[in-house]
Chains A and B, each alone.
Chain A
Amino acid sequence: MEKLSNNQIAWRAAQDIVAGSYVNLGIGFPEKVAQYQPKGHEAIFHTENGILNFGESPKPGEEDWDVINAGKKAVTIRPGTAFFHHADSFAMVRGGHLDVAILGAYEVAENGDLANWSTGPRGVPAVGGAMDLVHGAKRVAVITDHVTKDGKPKLVKACTLPLTGVGCVTRIYTSLAVIDIEGGRFVLREKLPSISVEDLQAVTGAELVIPETVADLIVPEL
C-alpha cells in the first residue's frame, strides 16, 4: 500500500496553518511541520520552555544551550523572539491563546481521546507538557502513521493505552488520509488517490463516515 513519508505528513499538516497563527509543535516528529510553512504564510512557534517565535536550528558548533526547544534541541532567536517563565508559558497553553497544537499519537479514538504519553506500566513514565497542550489550543491536530509498526490501527474505537486527554483531537493527518473528528465519529476528508475507501476502512479501527466529497490527498515528493 502506498503511503506518505513523515516529511509528507508534516507538509500536509503545515498547509492548514493560517498565517500569523501561534503554534506549538510536539517534540520529535511534529517538529518537522515548521520546515514546511508555505512562504509568506509563516506561523509563530511556541515552545513550552519559554520561547515564542524561535528560529531554525543553528549550525553544529554554534549552539547556545540556553536557547533550546522542548525537546532540548538548540534553536535560534530571530526578530520578535520573546522569552518568558514556565507559568506564563503554560498560561499561553491552557488559557486558550495558542491557535494550534500539533502532536504525535500512539492511539486516537473516534471521540477525540488521545493517548500519546505512555505505552503502559513498564519502564519510566514521562509526561512533559503533553497533557497541558491538549487543553487550551483552539485546534489540536495529530500527525501519525495510519497504523502501528505491526500494522494495527492507530485510529480506534476507544484507546487502550493511558490517555493524554479526553475528547481533545479535532483533526488527524495520517500516512493515508486526513480525517476530522466530528460528533464522536471519524469523518474522512482526504485520502490517497491510490487507496480505496474499503482499503482505508480495513486499516482503521472504527467506522469512517464518508461524506459526499472526499478530496484526493496530493502531496509533493519530499
Chain B
Amino acid sequence: MDKTVADLATAVAGIEDGMTVMIGGFGGAGSPIELIHALIDRFRATGHPKALTVVNNNAGNGHVGLAALIEAGMVRKLICSFPRSADPVVFTELYLAGRIELELVPQGTLAERIRAGGAGIPAFYTPTSFGTDLAKGKPVEEFEGRSYVRERWLKADVALVKAETADRHGNLTYRAAARNFNPLMCMAAAQTVVQASHIVAPGAIDPEVIVTPGIFVQKIVQVSHPHQEEDLNRANATYPLEA
C-alpha cells in the first residue's frame, strides 16, 4: 500500500466547486499552508474550485494560507470559532460587506462536532452555549438536573491536514501543539489529504506513538520544509510568495 502522491497539485486535484473542506490548524500551528497554496494555484489557473465551505478554528491571519484562500474569493462560507487574529483584514472586510457567510461555533463544540462526524454519531448533547444566542433554535434536554444543547455532527468532502511524519500507509504523528484539530478532521472527511514533513516506510514509526491510524488518510504528499504562518506574517508576506 502506498498513499503518497508525487506533488501538491495532484494532492489537491479532487477538490471541486461547492465542496466542504476542513483545514487543520489553530492559527498557524498545524496549518497545511502548502496544500492551501496549491489549491489557490489551481484556482488562479482554472477558476476552480470555488464556492467552498471551509471549516477551521479561525479565519486566517494576514495574506497567506487560509487568509489568502479567502482573499482569492474561493470561500462562500466559513465555519469557525474565532474569526479574529492579529491581522484579520481579509475576512473582516468580506464579512462586513456581506460577501462571506459565517457559522460561529464554540471551539469545543466545533471539535466535538468534527469528532462525531468522523465517529458516525449524528448528534450529541453539550452544556456549552446553553442559554446563549448560539443555542437559539437548537433542541435542549435535561440530564441529571442540568440543561444541555443538542449539536449535530460535521463532516467534509475533503480534509487538508499537516502532519510531522507519515508512513506510506498514512499512519501519522504530529509536532507539538500543531496536532490540535488535525486528527479529528482526518476522521471526518471522505478524503483526507496530508502534507507531511517526512514520509517513511511502514514500520519506521513506532506503532505506540501513532496518533492518526492510516485508515483515516487517503493521500500523502511530502513537504520537507513547510512554511510557518507566523514567520510569513512577520515578513509581511502575501501569497503568491516572492521567490
**Per a CB cutoff under 8 Å, which of B85, B130, B134, B180 touches A166?**
B130
Per DSSP, chain B at the interface is: mixed
**Per a CB cutoff under 8 Å, which of B96, B114, B174 touches A124?**
B96
Count of B residues near A, CB < 8 Å?
Answer: 53
Q: Mark A159-195, 1 if CB is under 8 A from B, else 0.
A: 0001111100000000000000000000000000000
Q: Are B107 and A163 in contact (CB under 8 A)?
A: no
Interface stretch among A35-43, A44-52, A197-205, A207-215?
A44-52
The answer for the CA separation of A47 and B107 in the assembled complex, in Å, is: 12
Set of chain B residues within 8 Å of A126, measured between Cβ atoms: 81-84, 104
The answer for the CA separation of A130 and B132 in the assembled complex, in Å, is: 12
Given A68-B177, A127-B104, A94 and B83 contact (CB-CB distance below 8 Å): no
Given A49-B29, A65-B229, A85-B183, A127 and B178 contact (CB-CB distance below 8 Å): no
Set of chain A residues within 8 Å of B28, measured between Cβ atoms: 65, 72
Q: Are B108 and A49 in contact (CB under 8 A)?
A: no
Set of chain A residues within 8 Å of B27, measured between Cβ atoms: 68, 72
Interface stretch among A13-21, A100-108, A131-139, A144-152?
A131-139
Q: Which residues between 71 and 103 of chain A lie within 8 Å of chain B, taking CB atoms?
A: 72, 77, 83-87, 89-90, 93-94
**Per a CB cutoff under 8 Å, which of A64, A68, A89, A128 touches B82?**
A128
In the assembled complex, the CB of B2 is this many whole angstroms from the nearest CB of chain A, namely: 26
Q: Are A49 and B26 in contact (CB under 8 A)?
A: yes
The answer for the CA separation of A166 and B140 in the assembled complex, in Å, is: 14
Q: Are A129 and B211 in contact (CB under 8 A)?
A: no
Given A64-B176, A68-B177, A163 and B111 contact (CB-CB distance below 8 Å): no
Interface size class of A (residues with CB under 8 A): 35 or more
Set of chain A residues within 8 Å of B104, measured between Cβ atoms: 125-127
Set of chain A residues within 8 Å of B134, measured between Cβ atoms: 127, 131
Residues of A within 8 A of B (CB): 47-51, 63-68, 72, 77, 83-87, 89-90, 93-94, 113, 118, 123-132, 135-136, 162-166
Which 9 A-B residue pairs are closest in the complex by CB-CB distance?
A90-B108, A132-B108, A166-B131, A86-B111, A135-B127, A131-B106, A66-B176, A129-B107, A72-B27
- Between-chain CB contacts (< 8 Å), 15 pairs: A48-B107, A49-B26, A50-B177, A50-B179, A50-B180, A66-B29, A66-B175, A67-B176, A72-B26, A85-B179, A87-B114, A128-B107, A132-B128, A162-B132, A166-B132
